[in-house]
Amino acid sequence: MATSFKTLNPNTDITNTRTKLHESIPLTGTIVSGTYGTFPDELNIKNYTHGMFQSVYDYPFLSSSANHIFDITAGWVTDSLLSGSLVLNMRNQKNDIYNEMSQILAGYDSTGSINRLNVSGNFTSGIAADNMNEVFVINFARLLTKDEIQKQADGFTMILGVSASYANPFAKTLTVYDKDGPNAYKTNSPAGEFNILYGTGSGFPGSSPKPCGLVFYQAGVALVTASVFQSTFVEECEMTTAGLLPLPLLVSSSISGACDAFRHRIQNISFNNTTELNSTIYFCRINNGDFNFSSNPTYLSASKMRVKEVAADNPVSYITTVGLYSEDNALLSVAKLSEPLKKTPAGELILRVRNDY
């Protein structure tokens, strides 16, 4: 226990820093479909009795070493053209999914109505052509995104198979990517910062990327419009072995069935995550007259210092630990030195202590 203390000056001895660490996250399509069994009944894909979403794991989900990677779901807005279909499977649940995503990600307008998801990022624009009425949603686990998906031009990338053929979906591909990154991200979402996802690729007509989704950095959510599998982008895609097209799929299949069809066309997902590391740095300045005597009771023997042979010699101590105390001398944290530092009245030291949180 310390018996002598030195007060830190908050203006000169304490400073705060923030560091962002990034980790590359590559998710191959083989993990999403086909690695642990026969599609669509892989052992790493978990479906629930409520049928509202589907979870993807990196190993069979019953394994103790399995890690949850992300959830997939699908939904459409209440007044979508799909509402006029005669056969509607899980209509209320799909509408609920869309409304939930809209509430969380797009918020409400001035009248209290839920804003509609919009590829322009302006949720109150009212431009019908920009509305995302039918969407596929990927909600990444915190294990992957950490504090947020990194805002990076061309950083978030998802490659989708958009060939008309169900059996050969990747004959044509669409690269869905964060084109602007930190240069033009938006802040008008209650879920934090986000950006527009653009689509381009081998099967995409023309040279200009086309907006097709949104990525929410802090929320760890990416969503794409179902139109990416229609002729408005490349061509009408067969989403099941029975040849169901995208909109009929969202009408007649279960949510899990729609998720299976979406997984079948994911070739790759990649992004960098971000871990925000906040630090407080303390500069412990030890002047020549400070801490020349040890507080260890074994420092003395019969009231004499063990490290002195002659009474006139200068005292010597070895610093091994720095303790940070509150104003009432309660120990808050301890920092250990890699090796003892010799301290005598002939020398001064500055110890830099960093507290991460």
Concatenated DSSP letters of 263-303? HTTEEEEEEEEEEEEEEEEEEEEE-TTSS-S---GGGEETT
119 and 225 part of one domain: yes
> What is 85-154 written as a DSSP string?
-S--SSHHHHHHHHHHHHHHHT-B-TTSPBPPPBTTS-TT---GGGB--EEEEEEE-HHHHBTEE---TT
183 and 256 part of one domain: yes
38 and 138 part of one domain: yes
Q: Is the dihedral of CA 77, 82, 88, 89 positive or negative?
A: negative
Confidence of residue 188 (pLDDT cuts 50, 70, 90): very high
% of the chain beyond a pLDDT of 90: 76
80 and 177 part of one domain: yes
121 and 147 part of one domain: yes
Residue 168 lies in a domain: yes
324 and 179 part of one domain: no
187 and 238 part of one domain: yes
Region 333-351: what's the mean pLDDT?
Answer: 93
Domain that holds residue 25: 19-276
Domain boundary among 223, 256, 276: 276
pLDDT over threshold 70, residue 248 = yes
Residue 254 lies in a domain: yes
218 and 300 part of one domain: no
Residue 64 lies in a domain: yes
What number of H helices and E strands is found in the chain?
5, 18
pLDDT averaged over the chain?
A: 92
pLDDT over threshold 70, residue 306 = no
Residue 298 lies in a domain: yes
Confidence of residue 208 (pLDDT cuts 50, 70, 90): confident
242 and 332 part of one domain: no
pLDDT for the residue 87: 79
pLDDT for the residue 182: 93
Region 255-281: what's the mean pLDDT?
Answer: 96
Domain boundary among 276, 295, 326: 276
pLDDT over threshold 90, residue 305 = no
pLDDT over threshold 60, residue 234 = yes
Confidence of residue 118 (pLDDT cuts 50, 70, 90): very high
The β-bridge partners of 75 are: 135
Domain boundary among 229, 246, 276: 276
Q: Which CA distances in Å does 33 have to 1, 55, 131, 164, 232?
A: 59, 12, 30, 19, 26
Q: How far is CA 272 from the centre of its chain?
A: 8
Q: Which CA distances in Å does 32 have to 5, 44, 104, 307?
A: 58, 8, 26, 67
pLDDT over threshold 90, residue 303 = no
Region 31-51: what's the mean pLDDT?
Answer: 93
Residue 123 lies in a domain: yes
pLDDT over threshold 80, residue 207 = no
294 and 170 part of one domain: no
* pTM recorded for the entire structure: 0.85
Query: Could you give the CA distance from residue 346 to residue 357 in angstroms, rounded to a whole number?
Result: 36
Phi/psi for 248 (5° steps) reads -60, -30
Our count of domains for the chain comes to 2
